[in-house]
Amino acid sequence: MTLTWAQLRDLKCGELEGAADGWGKASNRAGAGRDRIETQLLTGLRGTQRGAAADAAVGRLKQLSRNLSYAYTECGLLRTTLNSLAHELRIQQRALREALDDAESLKFTVHADGSVTYPAAGDGLIDGKPLPGGTASVGSLPGLLLPSGLVAPNPNVSKAQDIADRVAKAVRTAAEIDWRYARILRQLRAEEGLKVPDATWTDAAGDAAEVRDAARGYLKDGIPRDASPAERKAWWAGLTDEQREEYLAVYPDQIGNLDGIPAVVRDAANRDNLQLLMGKLEGRDDAKSETQLAGLREIDRQLREGRQPPMFLLGIGDQGNGRAIVSFGNPDMARNVSAYVPGLNTSLDEEFAKGDLKRARDTAMGTLNHDPSSAAIVWLGYDAPQSPDGLGSLAVMGDERAEKGGGAFNGFMGGLVATNEHEDPHLTAIGHSYGSRTVGAATQREGGIPGVDDIVLVGSPGVGVDRAEDLGVGKDHVFVGAAEHDIVTKLPSKQQAVVGAAGLVAGGPPVAHLLGDLADQGDDDLWFGKDPASRAFGARRFPVDDGPRFISREGISIDAHSQYFDPRRDSSSANSISLIAAGHAQKVQVEEYR
């Protein structure tokens, strides 16, 4: 049926918003049910029951939680779709009413087909009588014929045509809006059945993308992307409960990754976005998607375990090599918060989800032993360089990714400062491997790393500056761990690498030459500047285990590069990191420079 201007005028957008409210209540009920399962029922079962029956009950509760999560997402999408439809139609209603009001004030008549009749007006040049009235309709072209000089145009012609065009435009645009949203609403239908399989989540990811695109003017443009973390926090606090619910339902990816939004909100948004991301990647068969999907599934598994300290998902995404920010403990409530930046070859995959998350959790557990008001974060908020040849390809180890990552890291840390409830929380930045170069880059930006009191560098190939005091926190607040057999901490300087390459061209023994450089502990230069463990750099070096040798009878190993956080393999290093993160750096033992 063709939409008429009378139908548009009489449309009750409030009824659409009422329906949206109903879907919103359904979404909230589903979300509350899911949260009760995750925080109460599953936790209680795991803590008190054992055996096959308990395992079966856990499995069914997990499935019910997944179903409710899907219902929460889809009902939320329906609410926003209807609200956005009402919002857009109201704009066209307003434009129509303004045109009709103008017609009424001018004593024009707007007909059912949108044409506009105007009365006689003006003065004839010959007899001085008013010029006859007429009717303007869409498509007519008044004013194109110039007056002869003897006949002046009726001044109502252009006014009537303008009104006719405005009426037609409002109706035409409203019809396009109606068609567009009808298509979206038809897609927001679930398959029949008692389970929500992976394929359904794939459809949900597509649904969310459709609604996001449609609701751009209604919601998305209001998200303060270019604001400071403090301004974003204030924006979120100023929203109504309904507005927050809509943003969480439709833009969990935006809200969950917005620095300055409270941690509990980011966690809720990212847990929902995690399901949508997994559904999105389920529909793909390329290697990157499969790798990231494995990482997302492992993160999802850990989130559902209900382990302690509680996990907060502060960021998740599939852009670049993937994004994931996980906190063990609530960083808004903790007095001590550490953020660990991983390095070379780190990406969103299963290895990251198991290994790097464990490093953050080990740090959290150790820090809690010294101060119960503590949280530890792993921050994969940048594209760390990837080397398919392992350490053999140094070309990827440039500064560009560290510089870009440093800016993103500062934004994240600024968000922590804005949302932490303590007036002056103790923040620690921890950089491992290339992550130490990223932390170094962050310190060189204007103002340094927001709120950071201490910096820990482990397994570092250099940080881009030659003195600890250049990192902006005072040299006594810069700590370094460098294992004797960690080859990354003994990478040659770029100049030495050039010499080694020249030896290769000349036919000399480049491997022996390179290994000789690696063993040269008297040389203070590494790939990214002075060796942080050297006297020239001037940081406080804490004891660490030597680690396995790079070359031994068992072959080549770089395990010495990966055990700094592990309390079992290197208790001295792990405890030193925990003491620093807990604000007890004065208790850290120091050892000689190398």
* Tokens linked to 557: 């190993």
State pTM to two decimals: 0.80
Contacts of 424 (CB under 8 A, 6+ apart): none
pLDDT in tens, 451-478: 999 999 999 999 999 999 999 999 999 9
Rounded Cα distance, 144 and 152, in Å? 13
The answer for residues whose C-beta is within 8 angstroms of residue 76's C-beta and 6 or more apart is 23, 24, 27, 245, 246, 248, 249, 250
Residues 251-278: b if buried by 16+ CB within 10 A, e if exposed:
bbbbbbbbbbbbbebbbbbbbbbbbbbb
Q: What is the strand order of the sheet 311-317 is part of?
A: 311-317, 323-328, 374-380, 336-341, 426-432, 452-458, 478-481, 540-541
Give the confidence band of 148 by pLDDT, cuts at 50, 70, 90. Answer: very low
- 328 SS3 class: strand
Q: Which of 57-61, 279-283, 402-406 has the highest mean pLDDT?
A: 402-406
pLDDT tens digits for range 391-443: 444 545 688 999 999 999 999 999 999 999 999 999 999 999 999 999 999 99
Question: What's the mean pLDDT in 568-586?
Answer: 96
Confidence at residue 249, expressed as pLDDT on a 0 to 100 scale: 83
Residue 421 structure tokens: 């409830």
C-alpha distances (whole Å) from 303 to each of 49, 170, 191, 248, 252 are 20, 49, 27, 19, 17
**pLDDT bracket for residue 380 (50, 70, 90):** very high
Q: Note the maximum CA span of the chain.
A: 116
Q: How far is CA 251 from CA 158, 220, 320, in A?
A: 45, 8, 20
Contact 456, 427 (CB under 8 A): no
Contact 58, 45 (CB under 8 A): yes
- Residue 141 has a pLDDT of 53
Q: Dump pLDDT digits (tens) for 548-564.
A: 888 777 777 788 899 99
CB burial of residue 549 (10 Å; 0-12, 13-18, 19+): middle
pLDDT score, position 100: 96
Confidence category of residue 250, pLDDT binned at 50, 70, 90: confident
Q: How far apart are CA 246 and CA 86, in angstroms?
A: 14
* Residue 497 pLDDT exceeds 60: no
pLDDT in tens, 68-120: 888 888 888 888 889 889 989 999 999 999 999 999 999 999 999 999 999 98
C-alpha closest to that of 490 among 551, 425, 578: 551
Give pLDDT tens digits for 258-273: 999 999 999 999 998 9
Higher pLDDT, 498 or 253: 253
The residue behind tokens 């597509």 is: 206
pLDDT in tens, 220-248: 668 898 999 999 999 999 999 888 988 88
Cβ neighbours, 10 Å, residue 141: 7
Q: Say how far apart CA 482 and CA 576 lie, in whole Å.
A: 13
Please report which confidence band the pLDDT of residue 193 belongs to, taking 50, 70 and 90 as the band edges: low
CB-based burial, 385-418: b 16+ in 10 Å, e otherwise: bebeeebeebeebeeebbbebbebbbbbbbbbbb
